[in-house]
Chain A
């Protein structure tokens, strides 16, 4: 029973919670926070139970299979099934989405941006959770698409109602960009359905067909183009990233955390789960282009970061660079690269999510995000906050021993030795050049973070901030952040906590598909 219902319950529990919250009468609106916390704790506990039974309870499936699988007919008219399942590639991101939502629900006790309205805010946040988690466990393309699109509307409202000054512009830009990609993805999905010959949207069946060479030639290239466009916009990959700085900068803190922590990963996860396995031949053709764009993103992101005057925008651009490393790992088409990519996604979710929490709290206190106005010396004004910021910043620039290191390191390592298929095509020199450029990118990353520390944390604080009597990290903030702060060194020292889960399915999948 638990086996069959676990994923369905865990995914739709937040949506049900959102329904419950919307029924709370207006006069008792504040209780929405308690309900949201309870729902998210319960959902997180369920996801941990799934993680636990995967790890310990012998529920880890044989390579190439899924556990907690549900597969029933859903819309026979168009051949879509309700197919949920989980494997090592999904699991880390799935659990991470529940962890971050739970922490956001805690953080909501501390602060919700103007105009308040906790009821609407938290209902939307929980709706978002269902969409995010569902994306990672859907094994039917139509179902995947539904969860994928389900994310759009709540995020649109979160940015558009609770965002900063240019919130409406940012919200519409976010929505239209993502939409533009996803309609092409939809057409490509339909094309796969008809081309498969058996009329299926099932990701596993399509993967098997793809490995058998069913989708070759021009068709494969077109289909991959449509699918990859959507994922590249979501990831975001340079040059499709321009929605991200706006959306991130204008979004409320919780919106930014979930956007950076989970939403971006939906794009890269899509590459690993759908685009590469189903269309391996086209993937090999596109991989060098993706790799080049990824390295451009790394360098471009770093340069943009150096030029930013807004703290939140700086962190947003750093995401472009970090996702560049993830994409580079994916573009090598090797198990090492993919493992590195998944690790990079998890680490980026934890670290950048945490950075956005901190920046949000800093803005709460200073009422500005402009680096020049903060004027340095946060060490003196808010010593604990400043210490945390530097710690997480250092993790983000990839210091060995902290979580940010492994993803970048192994992505570069994989680029040294890309998949045989790419080497045969004569791309080895290109990938090695890209590796060197990527390594330069890590240096630049260190550069802009140190430059940020210098301008924000160090130096002498302006008198007005010293007189302002700003409060340091509050109890709720500690409660919100502690799990992430602990995870950063833990994953740094024990990377196998993630790779141990991902390695077997990744190796199996990529050996099968790219033989």
Chain B
């Protein structure tokens, strides 16, 4: 371990510190606000996010690779990309939250504090280049999540969901930590690149390989991969909808960021061991997710299972990683990145529509979307775009290009396993299209059962319109993705 562990680069840490400060300010300010003004902590939180975003932009303009705490905390292009993305997600989750929490009138200060703390953890995640740091970041994301999921205290399903989330979460963290400790014992370092170098030279002890799988299982919980997905539908259903959006997008993305760092840097030399395991998990995840989603009548559960399925697609490139083949690995790496970005845009969009609908329709049944095309054409067009994009079959929406990147990754060097993965993705796309299409059909073809007007409010309208525009714009001009692909410096930069 280098000696300068205690040297801080304050500039590099500025985004995280800003967010942390805002979280504390929000918690304090809420105490002194009158009951009917409590929702004004939301704009304060948004302001903090914007300032933090400003720091990230400044870091990007500055452009140098910065480190803190020795090599534990690194700011490079990869980290900055994820930070911009997380902060953008934070803004949209705040947009979704404003009216929702103003109306249910509970624990607003606490909620925004927890939300911002979780996002602080997310900002740490892509910068973490050390097993301990990754673990800390992961915990910082998870623990506020347990509480936020249970914020609807008056609802039994919320209690159940939060408890499940907590128990399975703690279990998997224990597994992860155990795996990390064994890896440290074998390699003698917690630095990711150092672990990679040590693994490349060490003998392949069964215990070591087993502990690597433990680590991956730990992440499997975070990204709700089968068979660690059981918490997801219940927790998603019970949580306040903005929290569901947070869990299904931001928290999952943080898990993927960690998994990317671990799989592509630290464990890259033993990729031939974990890749087949992840391949099986990927196929199981997408298939089970899609098949279960087919049978859902509750819209939140439908999106919960669909998000499980999408985690399966994102795992496909992990299953193709080869030890030592830098060029191929960076192609796989960017496939994951692209899919993650696209998925987030379309999934937050879908949850924005669900939040808008939830005011009039607390049971959240899919049948309540009948005739949305006549009741609120704007929302319906937005929802249709998000659904087509999640289906990933129509080339004018962003989801198609994301799926194309994943398919492309499987075809570059077609081995038998890769072809099987491609076939699984293809078949699953069709299954997925079926339930997205069914929702589309209900939205447009069925006669409305309710007639009252839907008023999503300004913040939600802006969120839906903006995200729909992004889905369409990138769909028509996918070259915008190419920039991200080139940012995949993580896989190539490290030895």
Of A75, A150, A187, which is within 8 A of B396 by CB? A150
Task: Check B394–A153 contact: CB distance below 8 A.
Answer: yes
**Smallest beta-carbon distance B416→chain A, Å:** 12
Q: A186 to B434, Cβ gap below 8 A?
A: no
Are B412 and A77 in contact, with the CB atoms below 8 A?
no
Give A160 to B422 CA distance when docked, in angstroms.
31
Cβ–Cβ contact B430 & A183, under 8 A: yes
Q: Are A190 and B482 in contact (CB under 8 A)?
A: no
Taking A160-B445, A168-B445, A187-B422 as contacts, is the C-beta distance between A153 and B404 under 8 angstroms? no
Whether B426 and A191, one on each chain, are in contact in the complex, defined by CB atoms closer than 8 angstroms, is: no
Q: Cβ of B393 and Cβ of A77 under 8 Å apart?
A: no
Whether A183 pairs with B426 at a CB distance below 8 angstroms is: yes
Any chain A CB within 8 A of the CB of B408?
yes
The B interface, classified by DSSP as helix, strand, loop or mixed, is: helix
A73 to B, closest residue via Cβ: B479
Looking at the assembled complex, report how far the CB atom of A185 sits from the nearest CB atom of chain B, in whole angstroms: 10
Does A152 reach chain B (CB closer than 8 Å)?
yes
A153-172 toward B: CB 8 Å interface, digit per residue (1/0)?
A: 10011001100000110011
Which A residues are CB-close (under 8 A) to B393? Answer: 149, 179, 182-183
A187 and B426 contacting across the interface, CB-CB below 8 Å: yes
Which residues in chain B, 393-424, are within 8 Å of chain A measured between CB atoms? 393-396, 404-405, 407-408, 411-412, 414, 422-423
Given contacts A152-B394, A191-B414, contact A186 B407 (CB under 8 A): yes
Rounded to whole Å, the gap between the CB of A114 and the closest CB of chain B is 13
Q: Do A172 and B395 form a contact, CB below 8 Å, given A77-B481, A78-B404, A183-B430?
A: no
Smallest distance from the beta carbon of A266 to chain B beta carbons, Å?
15
- Number of A-B residue pairs, CB cutoff 8 Å, is 80
Docked pose: A167 CA to B445 CA in angstroms = 10
Closest to A185 in B: B426
A184 in the interface (beta carbon within 8 A):
yes
A145 an interface residue at 8 Å Cβ cutoff? yes
- Stretch with Cβ within 8 A of A (4 or more), from B204-212, B215-223, B252-260, B436-444: B436-444
Cβ contact within 8 Å between A175 and B407 = no
If A153-B388, A190-B408 touch, whether A179 touches B445 (CB-CB below 8 Å) is no
Q: What's the least CB distance linking B101 to chain A, in Å? A: 36
With A77-B485, A176-B433, A179-B433: A171-B441 Cβ-Cβ less than 8 Å: yes
Q: Which of A142, A146, A153, A179 contacts B430 (CB 8 A)?
A: A179
**Contact in complex: A191, B394 (CB < 8 Å):** no
A contact residues around B389 at 8 Å (CB): none
A150 to B481 CA separation, bound complex (whole angstroms):
21
Cα of A160 to Cα of B441 in the assembled complex, Å: 8
Task: Provide the bound-state CA to CA distance between A175 and B429, in Å.
Answer: 13
Q: Is A194 part of the contact surface with B, judged by Cβ < 8 Å?
A: yes
Contact A172–B430 (Cβ < 8 Å): no
A180 at the interface (CB under 8 A from B): yes
**Are A150 and B408 in touch, CB under 8 angstroms?**
no
Q: How far is the CA of A186 from the CA of B395 in the complex (A)?
A: 11
Contact-residue size bin, chain A (C-beta under 8 Å from the other chain): 20 to 34
- Interface pair B412/A194, CB less than 8 Å apart: yes
Specify which chain A residues have a CB less than 8 angstroms from the CB of B482 in the assembled complex: 75-77
| B312-349 contacts to A (CB < 8 Å) | none
Q: Does chain A have a CB within 8 A of B478?
A: yes
The one of B407, B444, B478 in contact with A77, judged by C-beta atoms closer than 8 angstroms, is B478
> In the bound complex, how far is the Cα of B426 from the Cα of A180, in angstroms?
8
Q: Which of A76, A149, A184 contacts B479 (CB 8 A)?
A: A76
Chain A residue contacts of B405, Cβ below 8 A: 78
The answer to whether B422 and A176 touch across the interface, beta carbons within 8 angstroms, is no
Give chain A nearest CB distance to B156 CB in angstroms. 36
Q: Are A149 and B394 in contact (CB under 8 A)?
A: yes
Contacts of B408 in A (CB 8 A): 78, 190, 193
8 Å CB contact of A172 from B394, B407, B437: B437
Contacts of B412 in A (CB 8 A): 194
Contacts of B478 in A (CB 8 A): 75, 77-78
Chain B residues closer than 8 Å to A179, beta-carbon distance: 393, 429-430, 433
Decide if B411 touches A172 in the complex (CB within 8 Å). Answer: no
Taking CB atoms, residues of chain A closer than 8 Å to B481 are 77
Q: B445 touches which one: A152, A161, A184, A194 (CB < 8 A)?
A: A161
> Do A160 and B444 form a contact, CB below 8 Å, given A77-B482, A176-B430?
yes
Distance A115 CA – B441 CA, assembled complex (angstroms): 16
Across the interface, which residues of A come within 8 angstroms of B429, CB to CB? Answer: 179, 183
CA distance A194 to B411 in the complex (A): 7
Chain B's nearest CB lies how many Å from the CB of A176?
A: 6
Interface residues of A in 55-108 (CB under 8 A from B): 74-78
Q: Which of B407, B430, B444, B485 contacts A161 (CB 8 A)?
A: B444
Name the interface residues of A387-422: CB closer than 8 Å to any CB of B: none
Instruction: Name B486's closest neighbour in chain A (CB-CB).
Output: A77
- Give the residues in chain B near A150, CB-CB below 8 Å: 394-396
Q: Output the least CB separation between A229 and chain B (Å).
A: 11
Tell whether A191 pairs with B411 under 8 Å between CB atoms, given A77-B482, A160-B445, A183-B430. yes
* CB of B193 to closest CB in A, whole Å: 28
A74–B476 alpha-carbon span in the complex (Å): 10
Residues of A contacting B396 with CB < 8 Å? 146, 150
CB distance from B190 to the nearest CB of A (A): 36
Docked-complex contact A175 and B426, CB < 8 angstroms: no
Q: Which 9 A-B pairs have the closest CB atoms?
A: A77-B482, A146-B395, A183-B426, A190-B411, A180-B430, A75-B479, A191-B411, A160-B445, A149-B395
A-B contact pairs, 23 of them (CB 8 A): A75-B479, A76-B479, A77-B479, A77-B481, A142-B395, A146-B396, A150-B394, A150-B395, A150-B396, A152-B394, A160-B445, A161-B444, A167-B445, A168-B445, A176-B430, A176-B433, A176-B434, A183-B429, A186-B407, A187-B426, A190-B404, A193-B408, A194-B411
A residues lining the B interface (CB < 8 Å): 74-78, 142, 145-146, 149-150, 152-153, 156-157, 160-161, 167-168, 171-172, 175-176, 179-180, 182-184, 186-187, 190-191, 193-194
Supply 15 further A-B pairs (C-beta < 8 A) apart from A78-B478, A183-B426: A76-B479, A77-B478, A77-B482, A78-B408, A142-B395, A146-B395, A150-B395, A160-B441, A160-B445, A167-B445, A172-B434, A183-B430, A186-B407, A194-B412, A194-B414
